[in-house]
Structure 1
Amino acid sequence: MAGLRTLGPKAAAALDEELMSSGAFSIDQLMELAGLAVSQALYTLSPPTKTPNVLIACGPGNNGGDGLVAARHLHHFGYRPTMYFPKQGKSELYQRLRTQLEQLKVPFTDDFLSAMGKSDYVVDAIFGFSFSGEVREPFPAVIKALAESKVPVLAVDAPSSWNIEDGPPKEGPGVGYQPTALISLTAPKPLVKWFKGRHFVGGRFVSREIAEKYGFDLPPYQGSDQVVEIGSQGEKL
């Protein structure tokens, strides 16, 4: 069966710009919708009755913001999230998202490895589609742990350290990293051709006109769902 068309890095960046200009979306709105989709994907994978303890690793950029939003929703869904957020982005948005979690008494940890040992699931919201170059501290050890983990992992938009077009790294901390599940935001990225796990698409706010302009497909969302499960390579199930 034909797969959903993928969205390359230049088109993805241009799409974000258009959504925030002529589309009239704020970054807060886009992050909120992305984080809600991430939380629903995790609920679909494994509800809190099965895997209550979720560790959410957040990077300093928008991918980390998606993780912070997802944590708030997961708390309200009945999970017990713990946050690993060692490098907070400079925007006051990240401080607001952090404060919301602190008001819910969601704990933050500096010890990723210890927290992972007590977790039933991990959300990888470290690096998204804009990642390139080398993995900088303190994330090499974290990504190496994700690659070696027996705890299931849901990656947000891209497995951290993967190149958006060329897939998994040939060397460095992400070698062998193949998360349990991936949620592609708005559309699958070219890296999905190397992905082998369960695959979701989320981000239910784009018009058909915009999808055609940027050359990707809207997945067949059902009812009130914010996510659709598709094949690992982007094919419709």
Structure 2
Amino acid sequence: MALRTLSAKNAAALDQELMSAGAFSIDQLMELAGLSVSQAVFKLQPLSKGKRILVACGPGNNGGDGLVAARHLFHYGYQPTIYYPKQSKNDLYQRLTTQLRDLRIPFTSDFETALHQTDHIVDAIFGFSFSGEVREPFPKVIQALRDTKLPVLAVDAPSSWNIESGPPDSGPGKGFMPDALISLTAPKPLVKRFKGRHFIGGRFLSPEMAEKYGLDLPKYEGLDQVAEVPAGEGEKL
């Protein structure tokens, strides 16, 4: 049975409900999302296969998830590097970057060079709220993600993809198919076009809220914050 998917509109509504009726703070949700991302990396890229992780972060919540994931990855024993060209002045993001700098995790402005000095890449540039045109400096970054032979994990959506219809027909993201995707809270409709390994993350949704939004909760094992599910499946909610 295909997993139910969550449209961008309903994903935004669910986030708001989690922070109101669910009593979660945005800090909590971002921490849990980033923890899930870090565990997906651990499953995809064991330390024995290479410790260097390049985390590409956008200016919004998707980028914040990447910053949190990098902190956890450092504590697992990885060597993360952060590409975060449009750093938010919001207090939450400032605190996340301070936490990384306190761990002496390097930030780079040269994505191309960093790409040649890593073993795995996390695409945390754009999430479910992305729409419209990819603006500088991200077109060349997304082209590099498309063309690299290194494994790429996309957070919630491959950057530049349309949340409903999937990969773009033109522009820097045309032909971009990352090796893996982690859908946060629930898959988005684009998963019908995705062909790599697919994880669900965000082990905090109550059964009542999942039922309200018509979602299937995956079977999380033990302490895992992620569950792998078949790719390319989903029906629109």
1:120 aligned residue: 119
2:110 aligned residue: 111
For each residue in 1:130-187, what CA deviation from the matched residue of structure 2 results, as whole angstroms up to 9, or x when unmatched?
0000000000000010011111100000000000001000000001000000000011
> Does residue 181 of the first structure (1) align with residue 180 of the second (2)?
yes
1:67 aligned residue: 66
For each residue in 1:80-108, what CA deviation from the matched residue of structure 2 results, as whole angstroms up to 9, or x when unmatched?
00000000123111110000000001000
1:208 aligned residue: 207
How far 1:234 sits from its partner (Å)? 4.0
1:143/1:173 contact within 8 Å kept: yes
Find runs of 4+ consecutive structure 1 residues off by over 4 angstroms: none
Query: TM-score scaled by structure 2?
Result: 0.97
CA–CA distance in structure 2, aligned partners of residues 134 and 166 of structure 1: 15
> Does residue 82 of the first structure (1) align with residue 81 of the second (2)?
yes
1:19 aligned residue: 18
Alignment of 1:29-108 (within 5 A): 29-108=28-107
1:188/1:234 contact within 8 Å kept: no
1:123/1:153 contact within 8 Å kept: yes
CA–CA distance in structure 1, aligned partners of residues 232 and 50 of structure 2: 26
CA–CA distance in structure 2, aligned partners of residues 226 and 68 of structure 1: 17
CA–CA distance in structure 2, aligned partners of residues 218 and 95 of structure 1: 33
- The residue identity in structure 1 corresponding to 2:64 is G
Alignment gaps of 5+ in structure 1 = none
1:133 aligned residue: 132
Alignment gaps of 5+ in structure 2 = none
* CA RMSD, Structure 1 to Structure 2 (Å): 0.8
CA–CA distance in structure 2, aligned partners of residues 103 and 228 of structure 1: 31
CA–CA distance in structure 2, aligned partners of residues 157 and 51 of structure 1: 24
1:156/1:182 contact within 8 Å kept: yes
CA–CA distance in structure 1, aligned partners of residues 217 and 207 of structure 2: 7
Number of aligned residues: 234
For each residue in 1:34-56, what CA deviation from the matched residue of structure 2 results, as whole angstroms up to 9, or x when unmatched?
00000000101111221210000
Query: TM-score scaled by structure 1?
Result: 0.97
